[in-house]
Structure 1
Amino acid sequence: MVVADDHPIYRESLSRALSLSGRVRIIDECANGVEALEAVRARRPAVALVDFRMPLLDGMEIVRAVKRERLPTQVLLISGSVSGEVAGAASHEGAAGFLSKDVPRAEIVAAVEAVDRGDTVFPAGARPADSPTAVPPGGALSDRELQIVDAFARGLSIPLVAQELSIANSTAKTHTRRLYGKLGVGDRAAAVAEAMRRGFLT
C-alpha cells in the first residue's frame, strides 16, 4: 500500500506500525499529494492511506483523480478531525473510508484490511448518510439493494457480490453506498443487522 502524509514523523510512525502488523506491505511513502497520486498511478496499490490535508493536492482531489482515471486503488482518508459533513462528501466522491488520526494504530490496520476486502470504513457519527448528497435514512430497498444485503448476510464481500451479480465492482459499491444510506449504517455487519431489524431479511 501507499502511505501519504506531509508530517514525516507521523508518516514514518504510521508506516512502521502498519509494517510491524505483518499484514500490510508498504510499497511507497509520500510527502505531498502530487507524489501520492504519482505513486498510485505508477504502483497501483490495492489501498492508499492518504492525509486529507496535504500540500499540492489534498486527499479529496486524489480520490477524484483515482475515480476519474479508473485506477484500481481504494483511497482511505485520514485526518486530525473528522466531521459528518466532510466524511459524507468523501464517501460521495468515492473514498473507501475516513479515519481520525486519534484512533489506535490497530484500528488503522483493521481499516486498511477492511478496505482491501472491499468494505467501506467510516466512524460512527461520520457515515455516508450524513452527506447532504447521500440517500436519507429510511425508505424501501430496491431489488438490487435487497440482493446485496442478502449476499452480505451470507458473508460475501463487495467484490464477491459484484461477481455473483455479474456487475462491476464500482457498480456494487454505488449500490452499497445507497444501501448504507437508506439503512443509516456504515459497514456490512451493521447493514445486515439493520435490514433484519426492519424486516428486509428473515
Structure 2
Amino acid sequence: MTFRKTGSRDISVTIYPPVTRILHWLVAVLVLLTWPLGFTISFISKEWSLDFYMIHESLGFLVLWIMLVRVGNKLTAEAPEAEGNKLERFAASTVHGLLYAFLIIMPVSGFLATNAHGFPFEWFGLVPIWSPIGKSPEIAGILSGIHWASAWILLGLFGAHIGAVLLHHVIKRDLTLYKIL
C-alpha cells in the first residue's frame, strides 16, 4: 500500500499495514495516558491514590498484551523498506528495538512489583489477575527500581523517537511520517 503526495514533486511512500499502524497508535495513546498517571500518583491524596494505581496498572497491563501482539505482528507483517544512510537506519533500528524492549520491561516490572509488594491486581477492578510471585518483600524494591528506571529510559526513547519524526517531517520534509499514519 502506498501514500502519494502530489504537488511540485510527485512522490510516494510504502506505508505500514493497517494492523501495524493501529497497534502503534494504540500503544502511543495508552503510554501517553499511563506514564503521567504513574508520575502523579505520589502527589495524589490517599483517598484517590488507589484509584490512580488501579487505572495506571490496568493500562500498563493492557500495554504489555498489546506489545506482545505487536512483537508477533512485527515478526510476521511486511514493513516498508528502511530509508536513510547507514547511521540513520542503525539509529532508527536501535531506538525502535529499545522502545519495544522497554514497552515490555516496564509493564512486566510494574506488575511484578505490585505483586511483590503484596497488592492484589484486578484489571480495571473487574478481573483478578493471578500473582506469579506473590508477596516477596525481598525483591519488591528491586522490581520497583527497574520499573522506575524503565519509565525514565522510555521517556528518553520517546523523546528520541519524536525528535526523529520532527527531523524527517519538518527538516527533511520527507514522507516518513506518512508510513505510520
Same-fold call, TM > 0.5? Answer: no
TM range (shorter): under 0.3
Greater RCO (Cα-Cα under 8 Å, separation 6 or more): 2
Higher helix share: 2
